[in-house]
Structure 1
Amino acid sequence: MAANDALTRPEIDAELASLPDWTLGLGALRTALKCPTSAAALELFAAIGALAQEANHHPDVDWRYDTLFVALTSHDAGSKVTARDVALARAISAAASEAGAAARPELLHTVEIAIDTDDADAISETWRAALGYRKAEDGALVDPFGRGPSVWFQQTATPNVNRFHLDVTVPYAQSPGVLSAVEAAGASLDHGAAPRFVIATDAQGNRLCVCTEAGRGA
């Protein structure tokens, strides 16, 4: 298999079995690494940069005080996970261990905005132009710099009265705690599509979906 060939979901799952710091979410390998200090986080950031340069494969890294959020995907393979992502994930985990960083999967909440519509083409360009996003192969709008949440259009002949909802993707292992907290806060839960997603409706009728990697493809 070539380094830039997209891995299948079973292949990704097999690799993740030996990558405990990482999880699959929205087409990327993701981790959150909490360091002993902010300075240590910056040093780890620099180490990740050096590894990325050596591999000629660059992750998205977001520094927040003492924590780094890292996402690995191969854009030239259709924003899918490849062997290059797995190799760099291993190298980053080794560097994180040397830096005394701890994986914090409970911090991995990735947000998308979903819009119900019966004609996505009629509205998507308005949103793309306003946001400065690019249009992905599946029609979703994505921030080319990975800063803002993506926007996707849920095609339906009968759009919901409340056309906007958030999709919040969390690691499957963390989802029971998230769902319990959401329910305790007063939301009703629809588990009909679980474990891929659970629809939560708040006390005023607003919806969001708590999504996981379980039951999804690569």
Structure 2
Amino acid sequence: MPAPDVLTTEQVHSNLTALPQWRYGLGALRTVLKCESSASALALFSTIGALAQEANHHPDVDWRYDTLFITLTSHDAGSKVTTRDAALARSISAEALNAGATARPELLRTVEIALDTDDVEAISETWRTALGYKRQGDGSLTDPFGRGPALWFQETTTPNVNRFHLDVTVPYSESAPILATLAGGGAALDDGAAPSFVVATDTQGNRLCICTEHDREVD
């Protein structure tokens, strides 16, 4: 049974209007905080940990020198965004402001690996065992510790010659300059499914998708 405080799509976006430092992507609230130094980043990390302990609600925080990558979702609610995530995001933003940290949403990237196949069941267990991943309800494979990229199987009767491609999810608000740079570098863009995703093919025929939160429901 879903947790009673899961936010609908409309509620998620309503909360984001009051959280300018945060973006929504792949079922979670996300932000990147650039600090004045490595020491200040570590101090902010510690503060976020204290907030999480007080709220008994723990985000994923990746500390990289002077930068913190933060992801908020509720595992007990099926990895959905809840009122607890929105409340903790507000607290983190307030502490980031006090610490002099700067939000850098343009740095947000979430990478997934997609594999074309005409028979998911024939190969799924091989990949799950090799990676040490767990299988999700939709058939995708995810790292139980959140370290590696998810692997999902794109079922098709006509697998591409190059069966692997990357899905790179970025905030829609940051996607235009990325796509423009890709096109300027020679990539061919297929925007038939935009703004949900744009397929980019490099000059050697390798594909990737630039994905956004658009048209992805959380209800």
Q: What letter is aligned with 1:96?
A: A
Q: Which runs of 5+ in 1 are unaligned?
A: none
Identity %: 69
In structure 2, C-alpha distance between the alignment counterparts of 1:157 and 1:14, rounded to whole Å: 40
Q: How many residue pairs get matched?
A: 217
For the residue of structure 1 that corresponds to 2:128, the secondary structure is helix
Hey, what does 1:7 align to over in structure 2? 7
Q: In structure 2, how many angstroms separate the alpha carbons of the residues matched to 1:155 and 1:13?
A: 31
The more displaced of 23-32 and 5-14 is: 5-14
Which residue of structure 2 aligns with residue 114 of structure 1? 114
What residue identity is the alignment partner of 1:59?
P
Asked if structure 2 preserves the Cα contact closer than 8 Å seen for 1:110 and 1:170, the reply is yes
Cα distance between partner residues in 1 of 2:77 and 2:119: 28
Which secondary structure state, in structure 2, belongs to the residue aligned with residue 13 of structure 1?
A: helix
* 1:86-143 superposed Cα distances (whole Å, 9 cap, x missing partner): 1111111011011100100010011000011121111111111111111112111111
Q: Does the alignment pair 1:94 with 2:94?
A: yes
Q: Is the 8 A contact 2:165 2:207 kept in 1?
A: yes
- Cα distance in 2 for partners of 1:41, 1:24 equals 23
Secondary structure at the counterpart of residue 209 of structure 1: strand
Q: Secondary structure at the match of 1:181?
A: helix
Aligned to 1:155: 155
Q: After the TM superposition, which of the residue ranges 137-146 and 18-27 deviates more from structure 2?
A: 137-146
Q: Whole-Å Cα distance in 1 between the matches of residues 44 and 68 of structure 2?
A: 8
Question: What does 1:97-176 correspond to in 2, within 5 Å?
Answer: 97-176=97-176
User: What residue in structure 1 maps to residue 214 of structure 2?
Assistant: 214
Q: Would the aligned equivalents of 1:21 and 1:103 in 2 still touch at CA under 8 Å?
A: yes
What is the TM-score normalised by the length of structure 1?
0.97
> Secondary structure of 2:180's partner?
helix
Secondary structure at the aligned position of 1:151 is classed as strand
- 1:22 and 2:22 correspond: yes
Query: Are the counterparts in 2 of residues 113 and 164 from structure 1 also a CA contact under 8 Å?
Result: yes
Runs of 4+ aligned structure 1 residues displaced above 4 Å come to none
Q: Which runs of structure 2 are paired with 1:182-201 in the superposition (5 Å)?
A: 182-201=182-201
Partner of 1:205: 205
In structure 2, list runs of 5 or more residues that go unmatched: none
Q: 1:4 Cα deviation (Å)?
A: 5.2
* CA RMSD, 1 decimal: 1.2
SS in structure 1 at match of 2:139: coil
Residue by residue over 1:63-95, the C-alpha shift from the partner in whole angstroms, topping out at 9 and shown as x without a partner, is: 011000000011111111111111111111011
Relative to the length of structure 2, the TM-score reads 0.96
- Partner in structure 2 of residue 33 of structure 1: 33
- Shift of the 8–86 alpha-carbon distance from structure 1 to 2, 3 Å rule, reads same
